[in-house]
Amino acid sequence: MHRVGSAGNTTNSVRPRKEKRLTYVLSDADDTKHCAGINCLKVLKSTVSNGCDYLFTGSRDGTLKRWAISEDSATCSATFESHVDWVNDAVLAGDSTLVSCSSDTALKTWNCLSDGTCTKTLRQHSDYVTCLAAAEKNSNIVASGGLGGEVFIWDVEAALTPVSKSGDAMEDDCLNGVNGSTNSLPMTSLRTISSNNSISVHTTQGYVPIGAKGHKESVYALAMNDSGTRLVSGGIEKVVRVWDPRTGSKAMKLRGHTDNIRALLLDSTGRYCLSGSSDSMIRLWDLGMQRCVHSYAVHTDSVWALASTPTFSHVYSGGRDLSLYLTDLATRESLLLCKKEHPILQLALHDDSIWVATTDSSVDRWPAEAHNPQKVFKRGGSFLAGNLSFSRARVSLEGSIPVPVYKEPTLTIPGTSAIVQHEILNNRRHVLTKDTAGSVKLWEITRGIVIEDYGKVSFEERKEQLFEMVSIPAWFTVDTRLGNLSVHLDTPQCFSAEMYSADLNIVGKPEDDKVNLARETLKGLLAHWLAKRRQRLGCQASANGDVLSGKDIASRSLAHSRVDVDGGAENDSMVYPPFQFSTVSPPSVVTEGSQGGPWRKKITDLDGSEDEKDFPWWCLDCVLNNRLPPRENTKCSFYLHPCEGSAFQILTQGKLSAPRILRIHKVVNYVVEKMVLDKPLDNLNTDGTFAPGLGGHLQHSVVGDGSFRSGVKPWQKLKPSIEILCNNQVLSPDMSLATVRAYIWKKPEDLILNYRSAQGR
């Protein structure tokens, strides 16, 4: 399983300080659709007659969505965006609180009927949070479990209620693991369960509850009865553990499964428990008798999802074998309701229908007859569930494969196709992608848009066709874990790539101005934020103590490292066309500041109040102060000699140095200029830079400083025809020094270029 690296290192670490990363997530699709697998489903029934029922979905794209459900339609009415990794589970606590958990190790609470604003972030887990459980009739109790082996009990009501606190109580909030500026979570409301200990209750402010030492087993499933008096947990240990959350005592441990436990259900009273496992079995446990009373061999592979009828007489089950079954717990009679194209991850009953979530981005509603399941059995096609694992598999091999009762769902909420393959092209501005539908698209990541949709073509062939012989530093990395393109910027590497404004077709800017790709991309991403911030600064000119000023950033950044002011660019907020991001489908920014942990938000939802508590300081320093951190050498060293046998004199004896992006036609100009003007060799220093008074570094001389931009130069009247070679290969005038080094020279030593009269002229 993928692990997310730490965003920073600890205070006592002796390793170099790792700066916070900035990521932006691109989407060209409809924002009202998920673009990755649906991990969880929850139905909220309307409390008024003729009211609207809602379905909540949590996805591997990192967002949750609320759908208004009618008989024949589902409309997305809100997107809940704040998690920075997969949303793994969600529960409803009471009538209006949605609680979600994620692989970003956090729980988040939301007003589920709001526009999607996160009300609280709860951080206590040490690893991915995989599962949640809520008490139906005790709306403030929620349990969470994760890969770290911890199970926590949360009093959500206490977590959401503001409490008065003195100035020095702020630190306690951080220790408690709860993020928020106005709310704190009393430690009496948080308990932790380990596999070996009873629930430990901590009432002393400032102490963080932890699981038993050495307990490493992951928790995959939780369930709680309606009143919140009984909790069951299961995972890698293959046992069902039963707890009493009220007293903190460990009630029992039930053995029987031979593989990971992936799904759990409790009946309303808390006496009966259903468990689904990777051993393909479903087991029914009588917790009063402390034993397994029935085993059901229905599936041919891992059971990942369970849902029961209101009376707990029948169970709906789905999993890795793509099948949804209905099983009578008393008679052991079982039916195949439907067959999916993707593994089933979660189920949610809704009246006489059932919502089915899979690893695909769409969600289907199927008939379920939950209030009278016998109606389905009357249609025939049932079989008797065995009590030995894989008995269904053996029956299938013998040819009696059950026929699904239903062929088509009654309603589908479509998603968009997730990106599953990508390639960063050599120009370091375009990324080629392929999605689950087989569509191949070309993205421009400095604008966050698809510039070409090739349809269903060969990814490899298209990649070959788009190959360019150019060499630009790798200034960003990409992953598709969320189903979209996530572009990661890490300092100082991200500031290593530059291009001339002419190559970017920027009108109104001198063609030889160097443009830093990361700097302009950051300006594009934060243009809305900057405009909002300036509005706020205008309103708060008299008192802007809460807004980070450029001076603050400057002193902070200088304390961290030496910084270079980007002298080649104006200190303004102008965003050039190649770096303007769409406001129709704006990207989301994922990052972390000095406080509060990572967060995610659409760039158009930033309100200008975000400062160094929210953003990495280096991003703010770049956007507000035009400053870039120290970068690796952006110059290329080379020797320039006449070709062997050429009648040309040796113009330079020492090593030259110029920007890596310098084009060969500029080197041609330099040679012509030197030949015609016949500058004496003693004016050239051995390191390849001009002596004072002769135009500065070669970089300026070749690129063209002010003295060469006006009027006609003497050599332009003569125009000798010169060509440049490397390894006896004539170089294209459009090639950069970096490209020549990477594709023609191919050696670690300094580049050697030769010049001669153009052949055949």
Tell whether the model's pLDDT for residue 458 goes beyond 90. Answer: yes
Predicted confidence at residue 744, as pLDDT, reads 96
489-500 pLDDT tens trace: 999 999 999 999
How much is the average pLDDT of 400-423? 93
Question: Strand locations in 425-572, DSSP E?
Answer: 430-435, 440-444, 449-455, 477-479, 485-489, 498-500, 514-516, 564-565
The CA-based diameter of the chain, rounded to the nearest angstrom, is: 103
Q: Please tell me the distance from the alpha carbon of residue 135 to that of residue 145, in angstroms, as a whole number.
A: 15
Tell whether the model's pLDDT for residue 572 goes beyond 70. Answer: no
Neighbours of 633 (CB within 10 A): 9
How much is the average pLDDT of 127-142? 89
- pTM of the entire structure? 0.85
Q: Please tell me the distance from the alpha carbon of residue 605 to that of residue 627, in angstroms, as a whole number.
A: 25
Predicted confidence at residue 648, as pLDDT, reads 79
How much is the average pLDDT of 343-364? 97
Predicted confidence at residue 138, as pLDDT, reads 77
Predicted confidence at residue 319, as pLDDT, reads 97
Token digits for 290? 């402390």
Q: Which of 354, 326, 363, 360 is nearest to 341 (CA)?
A: 360
Token digits for 316? 């709906």
Containing 98, the helix (H) or strand (E) segment is strand 97-102
Q: Please tell me the distance from the alpha carbon of residue 598 to that of residue 593, in angstroms, as a whole number.
A: 8
Q: Where are the alpha helices (DSSP H) in 608-691?
A: 617-625, 664-677
Three-class secondary structure of residue 89 per DSSP: strand
Residues contacting residue 567 through CB under 8 Å, at least 6 positions apart: none
How much is the average pLDDT of 307-312? 95
Token digits for 662? 């310098």
Predicted confidence at residue 49, as pLDDT, reads 75
Residue 538: band (very low, low, confident or very high) from pLDDT cuts 50, 70, 90: confident
Q: Which of 704, 349, 647 is nearest to 511 (CA)?
A: 704
8 A C-beta contact, residue 110 and residue 90: no
Q: Please tell me the distance from the alpha carbon of residue 707 to that of residue 699, in angstroms, as a whole number.
A: 14
Tell whether the model's pLDDT for residue 561 goes beyond 50. Answer: no
Predicted confidence at residue 161, as pLDDT, reads 55
Tell whether the model's pLDDT for residue 540 goes beyond 90. Answer: no
- Residue that wins the pLDDT comparison between 640 and 396: 640
- Residue that wins the pLDDT comparison between 137 and 407: 407
Q: Please tell me the distance from the alpha carbon of residue 403 to that of residue 553, in angstroms, as a whole number.
A: 67
Token digits for 268? 């309303």
Q: Please tell me the distance from the alpha carbon of residue 284 to that of residue 306, in angstroms, as a whole number.
A: 12
8 A C-beta contact, residue 602 and residue 586: yes
- Residue that wins the pLDDT comparison between 137 and 642: 642
Residues contacting residue 220 through CB under 8 Å, at least 6 positions apart: 130, 131, 145, 234, 235, 236, 260, 261, 262
Predicted confidence at residue 490, as pLDDT, reads 96
618-632 pLDDT tens trace: 999 999 999 998 877
Residue 136: band (very low, low, confident or very high) from pLDDT cuts 50, 70, 90: confident
The fraction of the chain above a pLDDT of 70, given in percent, is: 78
Average pLDDT over all residues of the chain: 82
Tell whether the model's pLDDT for residue 677 goes beyond 80. Answer: no
Predicted confidence at residue 676, as pLDDT, reads 73
Residue 155: band (very low, low, confident or very high) from pLDDT cuts 50, 70, 90: confident
Q: Please tell me the distance from the alpha carbon of residue 381 to that of residue 403, in angstroms, as a whole number.
A: 7
Predicted confidence at residue 721, as pLDDT, reads 85
Predicted confidence at residue 444, as pLDDT, reads 97
- Residue that wins the pLDDT comparison between 183 and 295: 295
Predicted confidence at residue 542, as pLDDT, reads 43
The sign of the torsion formed by the CA atoms of 147, 4, 84, 459 equals: negative
Predicted confidence at residue 186, as pLDDT, reads 33
Q: Please tell me the distance from the alpha carbon of residue 618 to that of residue 407, in angstroms, as a whole number.
A: 55
Tell whether the model's pLDDT for residue 202 goes beyond 80. Answer: no
Q: Please tell me the distance from the alpha carbon of residue 747 to that of residue 755, in angstroms, as a whole number.
A: 20
8 A C-beta contact, residue 486 and residue 590: yes
How much is the average pLDDT of 455-473? 96
Tell whether the model's pLDDT for residue 485 goes beyond 90. Answer: yes
Token digits for 215? 């307990």
Q: Please tell me the distance from the alpha carbon of residue 161 to that of residue 33, in angstroms, as a whole number.
A: 33
How much is the average pLDDT of 353-376? 95
Instruction: Point out the least confidently predicted range of 11-15, 203-207, 622-626, 741-745.
Output: 203-207
498-532 pLDDT tens trace: 999 999 999 888 988 999 999 999 999 999 999 99
Question: Taking CA 145 as the corner, what is the angle to CA 360 and CA 23, rounded to the nearest 5 degrees?
Answer: 55
Predicted confidence at residue 749, as pLDDT, reads 92
Q: Please tell me the distance from the alpha carbon of residue 737 to that of residue 496, in angstroms, as a whole number.
A: 15
> Length of the chain, please?
761
Token digits for 743? 């594709």
How much is the average pLDDT of 405-417? 96
223-277 pLDDT tens trace: 999 998 999 999 999 999 998 777 667 788 999 999 999 999 999 999 999 999 9
Q: Please tell me the distance from the alpha carbon of residue 346 to that of residue 265, in angstroms, as a whole number.
A: 12
Q: Please tell me the distance from the alpha carbon of residue 537 to that of residue 572, in angstroms, as a whole number.
A: 16
The fraction of the chain above a pLDDT of 90, given in percent, is: 61
687-717 pLDDT tens trace: 433 333 223 344 333 433 332 333 344 444 4
Residue 147: band (very low, low, confident or very high) from pLDDT cuts 50, 70, 90: very high
Token digits for 173? 């909030």
540 has which bridge partners? none
Predicted confidence at residue 245, as pLDDT, reads 74
Tell whether the model's pLDDT for residue 162 goes beyond 50. Answer: no
